[in-house]
Amino acid sequence: MGFVGFGCFILSLGVIYYYSRDLPPLSSLEHLQRPAQITLVDAQGEFLTRYGQLHGEPVVVQSLPPHVVQAFLATEDRNFYHHWGVNPVAIIRALIVNLREGSVRQGGSTITQQFAKNVFLTPDRTIKRKMQEMLLALQLEMTYSKDEILAFYLNNVYFGAGTWGISAASERYFEKAPEDLTVGEAAMLAGLLKAPSRYSPSASPDAARERAKVVLAAMVDAGYLKPEDAETITSQRIASVSRRRNPAPYATDFAMAELNEIMPQLKHDIIIHTTIDLAAHQRAQSAIATLTERDTRVADTVQVAMVALESDGAVRLMIGGKDYAESEYNRATHALRQPGSAFKPFVYLAALEDGRRPDDIILDTPVELSDWAPSNYKDKYYGAVPMAEALARSLNAAAIRLQEETGRDRVVAVAKRLGFPGEIDPGAALALGVNEATPLDLAATYLPFANHGVTAEPYIITSIYTEGGKVLYAREEKPGRYVVAEDDLIALNHMLRQTIDDGSGKAAALPGYVAMGKTGTTQESRDAWFAGHAAGVTGVVWLGKDDYSPMRDGWAPVSGSGAPAVLWKDMMVAVLNDRPDLPYTPWEPQPFLPSIFDQFRGLFSRNDAAADPAVPYDMSYEMTAPPPADRPLPRAQASMDDLVADILEEEEAAQTLPEGDELGAFLNGQLSEPQSPEVALPDPGTGG
């Protein structure tokens, strides 16, 4: 018998040695690592959301009410204060079950063992892991007091919903400290540990209350609670707080992507200060919901994307879909769609840089290029119209003709200079916006129109701090590129303003602000846009379906002049929030230029080297700040002004007015400039 006992002792030592060879040291408890927690706040410091696991402040057992500790002991380990880390009776019972099943089905683990498993070991259900769990439990019991072990356990156990530890769980589910938990609330938290997702107080309140009843019964059985007290608590409603939804999920996802570029490796819990306007997001979401209820054409499968940028590129608002819970796909940053007529301002800007003016007359008549003939909405044409009116009406034929007269290469160069993404196909349909861009891309490309002709890179993170207040990152201002000459910008904004005041964008008019913008609708209403700016804010709204199918309700299609313009107005009102408007420089027509330019257009084209579309301006004019008022004009534009000055000098020298000379009469102020008749504008449809 002595020999058998000695053999068992030696065998036990061998087993202990075998399973303890790769045990982690208990000293690692002092350096427990956990994933960094990321908190995001808006531009005003308002809480937005939190990424990563939520870890609360550590507690000590002595600070907790007895009923909180008892709720966990009653369900997890009633003999905790009486065993030495393992419970032999529970282990034998579990061993019998496991041998009968042929695998590990039952644990019999004490709180000490659970803590050892959660902190030091993998969740594998193997004999080796179980043996190591028991060995670690014995080491823990020999090293730490019972209260210390229980505190370790309560501070590191998982309570679901991304929360670890009783402090985090108390705050998450009841918005209070664990010291303030009632008996019922403590029972509900203790009941979570069996299945955190199934018994979540916020996600499954009924199941959580039923589970809390089981815990209360266990507390009665363990002698911690009187039966009548348990019945009273059971009859009371234990209320938990619902999980706070991220009010700007698409924007915070964009911030997380930017964070990865700024700080790929995180070693601390951090607080990210963003440019997001939380109040504007909430108002914009309400506007989307209201429009969806009112307009059946934008219900169900129609998606929405919104972007609003400050003039320095700060992202004030970003919505990438109607419902983040249904689809996390951020259409504002990832959906490449055709902008349709929202591309036309780049065509008109190229024409302005080529010497045209908003009141220049262009023909809006049927045009045919090779084997392709673009058409206006409902095949309606307006003949000779000023450029500004052609843009305001979003006339396709006029835009194509202007594109061909100006040169597609020049249009491509202008769009690329402003920041339009990707390779631009210079095909015949260029002016109609067939090259794709995301809503954020288009907003960034429009931004120079609101920023004195200067580009700005979109950004959403302004600074990053540790929870202790240490600055880890502070964004430095990045100068943009000067890409649009002042005179051309004034002329283009005049045209974009007319689009809202008198053209296809009337629904986007902003009371109290000078607003400028452009509608966009692609073939069969697969995409509908509105892009524009006011008071230094550039905004873009897109509507469409993810499967590219048309947006129609019967015969009524969605166009940029409809729902997108309405939503753009709502978005801009929310973002601007009654801020003062910025000074607006109106374009002043000079009555002599249209007649002179018409007569000399063929003689003085702007095809000199300085106007090469590949290098639209002399590099000396590539500035990083708004240009001073006395900035010299690019050479190509200066040559046209010199031409006009020469003509005026000749006319002044003549001082005579030959009979029938309308040009001379016009120059001498004896004839007034003919005015285009006012015509009620049609719904632009696919033209706008």
Dihedral sign for Cα atoms in the order 137, 141, 143, 145: positive
Residue burial 195-211, b: 16+ Cβ < 10 Å; e: rest: ebeebbbebebeebbeb
pLDDT digits (tens, 9 = 90+) for 401-425: 999 999 999 999 999 999 999 999 9
In a domain, 49, yes or no: no
Q: How many domains does the chain have?
A: 3
- Predicted pLDDT of residue 31: 57
How many Cβ atoms sit within 10 Å of the Cβ of residue 348? 29
Full residue range of the structural domain in which residue 73 is found: 54-235
Same-domain status, 581 and 603: no
Pairing verdict, β 315-319 and 163-164: unpaired
Q: Which of 76, 133, 389, 436 is catalytic?
A: 76
Q: Which residues contact 470 (CB under 8 A, 6 or more apart)?
A: none
- Predicted pLDDT of residue 363: 94
Of 256-260, 456-460, 587-591, least confident by mean pLDDT is: 587-591
- Predicted pLDDT of residue 264: 80
Token code pair at residue 171: 């705050």
pLDDT digits (tens, 9 = 90+) for 665-683: 333 333 333 333 333 333 3
How many Cβ atoms sit within 10 Å of the Cβ of residue 104? 16
Same-domain status, 294 and 226: no
Same-domain status, 112 and 205: yes
Residue closest to 63 by CA, chosen among 174, 151, 189, 149: 151
More confident residue, 292 or 251: 251
Same-domain status, 644 and 554: no
- Predicted pLDDT of residue 271: 96
In a domain, 557, yes or no: yes
Q: Which of 109, 170, 200, 341 is catalytic?
A: 341
pLDDT digits (tens, 9 = 90+) for 541-553: 999 999 999 887 6
CA 80 to centroid of chain Cα atoms: 50
- Rounded to an integer, the average pLDDT of 382-397 is 95
Q: Is the pLDDT of residue 286 over 70?
A: yes
Q: How many residues does the chain have?
A: 688
Same-domain status, 225 and 339: no
Same-domain status, 90 and 142: yes
Residue 659 designated active-site: no
Using an 8 Å Cβ cutoff, are 474 and 463 in contact?
A: yes
Cα 179 from Cα 168, distance rounded (Å): 12
Of 80-89, 159-168, 465-474, least confident by mean pLDDT is: 80-89
pLDDT digits (tens, 9 = 90+) for 306-345: 999 999 999 999 999 999 888 889 999 999 999 999 999 9
- Predicted pLDDT of residue 267: 76
Q: Is the pLDDT of residue 24 over 70?
A: no
In a domain, 46, yes or no: no
Cα 515 from Cα 494, distance rounded (Å): 10
Same-domain status, 554 and 625: no
- Predicted pLDDT of residue 84: 81
Q: What is the CATH number of the domain that holds 153?
A: 1.10.3810.10
Same-domain status, 341 and 410: yes
Q: What is the CATH number of the domain that holds 295?
A: 3.40.710.10
In a domain, 252, yes or no: no
Residue 76 designated active-site: yes
Same-domain status, 380 and 414: yes
Same-domain status, 529 and 631: no
pLDDT digits (tens, 9 = 90+) for 426-482: 999 999 999 999 999 999 999 999 999 999 999 999 999 998 899 999 999 999 999
Write down which residue in 203, 235, 267 finishes a domain.
235
In whole numbers, what is the pLDDT of the chain averaged over residues? 80
In a domain, 324, yes or no: yes
Same-domain status, 408 and 548: yes
pLDDT digits (tens, 9 = 90+) for 486-529: 999 999 999 999 999 999 899 999 999 999 999 999 988 999 99
Cα 571 from Cα 573, distance rounded (Å): 6
Of 191-195, 217-221, 650-654, least confident by mean pLDDT is: 650-654
Residue 33's pLDDT band, with cuts at 50, 70 and 90, is: low
More confident residue, 18 or 492: 492
In a domain, 310, yes or no: yes
In a domain, 262, yes or no: no
Same-domain status, 221 and 301: no
In a domain, 210, yes or no: yes
